[in-house]
Amino acid sequence: MPSLPWSDIDTVLLDMDGTLLDLHFDNHFWLEHLPQRYAELHGVSRAMAEQELQPLFERNAGQLQWYCLDFWSAELKLSVRELKLETAHLIALRPDADTFLDAIKRAGKRVVLITNAHRDSLSLKLERIQLAPYFERLISSHDYGFPKENPQFWDALQADIHFDPSRSLFIDDTLPILRSARDFGVAHLLAVRQPDSRKGPRDTAEFAAVEDYRDLIAGL
């Protein structure tokens, strides 16, 4: 990972799930816990539950409703909020993410959280991990009505916080989102090599990747 030109960066935009928080919680919930509880609550087999859920997941991936707990609660006829509470003990910070956040705040950078997470998911995670004090703003894409994959999200963000894309760093674990940010003109982009601590490193394609947050602090 190349060193960052911190003198050229005023604003740091950060994703939450898979970037600051271990993606294991979300992967476990959507791929294991939800299918199991769906099967139990609807009286079907686990295999049947997965057969019913998979096309729904594929059809809605990358759209705002994919991240909306209200949508999934209505679609699946169960309380996703309550089910998330059952696995909330798995919510965890990625190694040294707090060290990085503290360093960039102390350095006087403008730090903004931008997440596709529904406000209820955001609240649940902030109750367990004290992230809020590091940020000027905590923005959910649901506030704007567009996911980060959509160019209109970036237009709305610009209108809201008036940042200079050419002097901004954005870190996210999702390649289509990074490409959307690049298309908008965000100059400094980093992916995340291993967003889920229980899974191996990922190919981040054309993007340099964060492997150790302590390395990013050099030169601040």
> d(Cα 30, Cα 94) in Å, to the nearest integer?
19
Query: Which residues neighbour 164 within 8 Å (Cβ) at sequence distance 6 or greater?
Result: 10, 11
> d(Cα 99, Cα 103) in Å, to the nearest integer?
6
> d(Cα 162, Cα 184) in Å, to the nearest integer?
14
**Smallest Cα–Cα separation from 11: which of 115, 137, 96?**
137
Known catalytic membership, residue 8: yes
Q: Name the token pair of 60.
A: 């809605």
Q: Name the token pair of 22.
A: 């271990």
8 Å CB contact between 164 and 10: yes
Counting DSSP H helices and E strands in the chain, the numbers are 10, 6
Query: Which residues neighbour 81 within 8 Å (Cβ) at sequence distance 6 or greater?
Result: 69, 73, 120, 124
> d(Cα 104, Cα 36) in Å, to the nearest integer?
41
Q: Which of 8, 155, 160, 183 is catalytic?
A: 8
In degrees and rounded to multiples of 5, residue 39 shows phi and psi of: -60, -45
Active-site annotation, residues: 8
